[in-house]
Structure 1
């Protein structure tokens, strides 16, 4: 399945940490505050818990800040309409790699 993470965070420190967390979980930046990639249910749950913990670091910001994490199946993604910046989900798929050494 595919996963989207979108956020509106006022605190620069928290915003930076959230973008780092998204990358650490294998997501790629699509726009400044939008990440996209492939994920399992387990990975999505772990990411959501990580982001929730990150938000708790700055409780005073939580009232106006938000993070949206949701999944999209392949058939739904195929129905996308792209206006502007090119979007090819293959660019965001997990890359298989072999580490030697």
Structure 2
């Protein structure tokens, strides 16, 4: 399944660690606090548990959105939807 991870994490160290966890899980950074990629259900659950260890549930916000390829291809991208310096051909390929 395709996974979006979006977050707003106040602590710099925690935010950096969550970004590393997303990259280690095989997700691609598409904006500074947004990652996208393909994970199976087990990998998604593992990532969620790892992220929970680094966030403050009283102030931080993390969204993990699963979707299938057809739903992703219906996503509308407006303006500069992705940071061009971050987005790889692998991410672009998910949309076409």
Which category describes the TM-score, using the shorter chain as reference length?
0.7 to 0.9
- 1:27–1:92 contact (8 Å) kept in structure 2: no
Q: How many residues align?
A: 88
Distance 1:71-1:89 versus aligned 2 partners, 3 A rule: farther
Distance 1:50-1:16 versus aligned 2 partners, 3 A rule: same
Query: Is residue 72 from structure 1 mapped to residue 64 from structure 2 by the alignment?
Result: no
- 1:62 deviates by 2.8
Indicate the residue corresponding to 2:91 in structure 1: 92
Partners in 1 of 2:19 and 2:89 — Cα distance? Answer: 21
Structure 2 length-normalised TM: 0.81
- 1:85 deviates by 2.9
- Backbone CA RMSD of aligned residues: 2.1
- 1:89 deviates by 9.0
Structure 1 length-normalised TM: 0.78
Q: Could you list the runs of 5+ residues in structure 2 that have no partner in the other structure?
A: none
Q: Which has the larger Rg?
A: 1
Partners in 1 of 2:39 and 2:89 — Cα distance? Answer: 14
